[in-house]
Amino acid sequence: MSQTEYDSYPPLFRPRRSPTLPSPDSDDFFNQQVPDFDPVPVIDSECINQKQLDEACREWGMFRLINHGIPLTLLNKLHDHAKKLFSLAYESKQASFTPPISYFWGTPGLTPSGVVIQRDARAQSQNFNWLEGFHVLLTPLSQLQYEDPMLDSFRCLLEEYGRHQTRLATTIFEALAKNLQLDSERTRAYLSTATGHLRVHRYPCCFEAEQLRAWGIDVHTDSSVLSILHEDEVGGLQVCSNNQWFDVKPQFDSLIVNLGDMMQAMSDDNYIGAKHRVKVNKHKERISVGYFVLPYEDTVIESSKYKPFTYADFRAEVQRDLKTVGFKIGLQKFKLSETF
């Protein structure tokens, strides 16, 4: 990439000097004894094996979904449009997007409308995440039309992709609810497809990853019920299981499903919210598209492990944590045995 090509990067992410290719031995910061195989369980969407699904959720909180029914042509078009839009000048991206499609960078900590949560002074020391993205509210998309043909084509692709994700999330959650023996009332209340939203991420190249101690996204769990990820073939996603980190191998024709904090609470901790992170790449940019779905805001989540709470309660605590300490504390604040 030439220096002018880095104009699409947020200023903080632009190389401070002409980038040089790193040596093969300079990746120690990221290669922390991660096994070179992909152990993530595989679930077939066309014929869900309830026992295999249960085991995957108990042991990993993550699984690979195959035969998902999303056309590869749609996935290719969505990624191509995302690359073109991310390649726009940084200032242009800031000016061109407003809700329901918002541009952000440096942090995944956003309000529901896509506004970055501003941190207090003592939380400013928390490192930036090496990413930029578009936060997409799916419900209002059909009411929007851009004059720019590229933006409007992107909107249409996002809307079509969102419909597929709504279908998949409903199917997966019904299978999970069956395993957990949730009654019909809770099954309906614990998943609100109207809350579904997308995050389209680009992880810029980072030639000084070790010096900056940079991560695309640092270790976290999602706040959702379910998260469904599609990624390109660059790789970088890692998942933690039994205190060991594993690379999740990129497969363009499959999806990665994460269980989030809400699913963990709903299951009385029988299922785990997947702890994961994203490495940066020194040579290649990475594109991913994540779908996140939540419970109805006023639905009380009942659990033997946690105090009763609504998603609105949980979100308020997470936003307070991000603002004051710079990271999410999450479910621990609602544990019956914990005192804060």
Model confidence pTM above 0.85: yes
Q: Which residues contact 293 (CB under 8 A, 6 or more apart)?
A: 165, 166, 169, 191, 192, 193, 195, 196, 224, 225, 226, 227
Helix (H) or strand (E) holding 331: none
Q: Quote the tokens at residue 134.
A: 């578009």
Cβ-contact 129, 201 below 8 angstroms: no
- % pLDDT > 70, the chain: 90
Least confident of 29-43, 104-118, 268-282, 318-332: 29-43
Return the closest-CA partner of residue 163 out of 78, 98, 225, 44: 78
DSSP class of residue 13 equals G
- Give me Rg for the CA atoms of the chain: 20
Structure-model confidence comparison of residues 87 and 19, the more confident one: 87
Checking if the pLDDT of 113 tops 90, the result is no
Distance of alpha carbon 152 from alpha carbon 142, whole angstroms = 11
β-bridge mates for residue 201, sequence order: 133, 288
Return the closest-CA partner of residue 235 out of 29, 36, 84, 33: 36
Q: Quote the tokens at residue 23.
A: 């040596």
Cβ-contact 100, 137 below 8 angstroms: yes
Q: Which residues contact 28 (CB under 8 A, 6 or more apart)?
A: 210
3-state secondary structure of 310: strand
What is the amino acid identity at position 92? S
Helical ranges in the chain per DSSP H = 50-59, 72-86, 90-96, 149-180, 184-189, 209-212, 261-266, 311-324
Cβ-contact 90, 123 below 8 angstroms: no
**Degrees (nearest 5) of the Cα angle 174, 47, 167?**
45
Cβ-contact 219, 276 below 8 angstroms: yes
C-alpha 224: how far from its chain's center?
A: 9
Checking if the pLDDT of 22 tops 60, the result is no
Distance of alpha carbon 132 from alpha carbon 123, whole angstroms = 20
What is the amino acid identity at position 121? A
Task: Compute the half-sphere exposure of residue 99: CA atoms within 13 Å on the CB side of its CA.
Answer: 11
Strands 192-203 and 286-294: antiparallel
Checking if the pLDDT of 30 tops 60, the result is no
pLDDT at residue number 77: 98
Verify cis geometry, omega within 30 degrees of 0, for the bond prior to 71: no
* Span 55-65, average pLDDT: 98
CB burial class (10 A; 0-12, 13-18, 19+) of residue 242? Answer: exposed
Confidence of residue 226 (pLDDT cuts 50, 70, 90): very high
Confidence of residue 24 (pLDDT cuts 50, 70, 90): very low
Confidence of residue 205 (pLDDT cuts 50, 70, 90): very high
* Span 148-154, average pLDDT: 95
Distance of alpha carbon 3 from alpha carbon 326, whole angstroms = 32
pLDDT at residue number 198: 98
* Span 94-123, average pLDDT: 86
